[in-house]
Amino acid sequence: MTMPLLATLPRFARRQPEPMPMAFAGLFLASGAPLWLPGGWAVLGLVAGGALCWPLLRTALPAPAPRATPALRDTETGLYSAAVVQAAVPAMLRMAERHGAGSCLALLVIDQPRPPVAEIGVTITGALRGTDLVCRHGEDGFLIVLPDCDLGGAFERLDELRGRFATLGGARRYTASIGLASVAQGAADLHDATMAATAAVRTAIAGGRNRVVTAPMVARLQVMQGAMP
């Protein structure tokens, strides 16, 4: 059997060069090139000297820290993380617009007392469609994206979800307050809708909790308060 050519070479020819001697050679070449090489050859000598020094420099440099991969789900509730929702939302909104339908966003806040964390995610997803997305928003809040759903349909679905919390604890009654807003046509993200839903859930909490309040309700309330003497 014919041996590969590399196997026939002397052992010293197959050994990897040591970085320290290479670095010394590179320093010698880089420092001497401007003195005894003309013009462009001096530049070439500097480049070659730097290349010879690189293996030693590479061993001295700290290894780059591994980039943290964002978690796909919240470890306590099993719901999607905010990073997943933010990545998926633009495509979901554009698809809903192509179907001629709007989209809605809700902010659900758990009232006190708080149900066991493990039951919260199951209760929320059990009342929603498979196309809806839910993620944790702070300690007691949950952001719900309802694509291809108008404000009236979203209100009915979320009011049913609100009622499910009352059945969790038996004699101990749990409740949730929900703020609901429409996502504007052509919106690039959920920033404005999140602000509107936040204002709505604050109104729900101030009004006694355990209710669904929409952004148009908040707007009408503000108009009425401004018209009062």
Beta bridge partners of 182: 104
**Cβ-contact 162, 210 below 8 angstroms:** yes
Structural domain spans, the chain = 16-59, 82-227
Q: What is d(CA 101, CA 193) in angstroms, rounded to the nearest whole number?
A: 16
- The pLDDT tens digits for 92-117 are 888 878 877 789 999 999 997 888 88
- Tell me how far the alpha carbon of residue 172 is from its chain's centroid: 35
**Cβ-contact 147, 131 below 8 angstroms:** yes
pTM exceeds 0.85: no
pLDDT of 38 above 90: no
In terms of CATH, what superfamily is 82-227?
A: Reverse transcriptase/Diguanylate cyclase domain (3.30.70.270)
* β pairing state of 103-110 and 176-183: antiparallel
Q: What is the per-residue pLDDT for 78?
A: 86
Q: Is 175 helix (H, G, I), strand (E, B) or coil?
A: coil
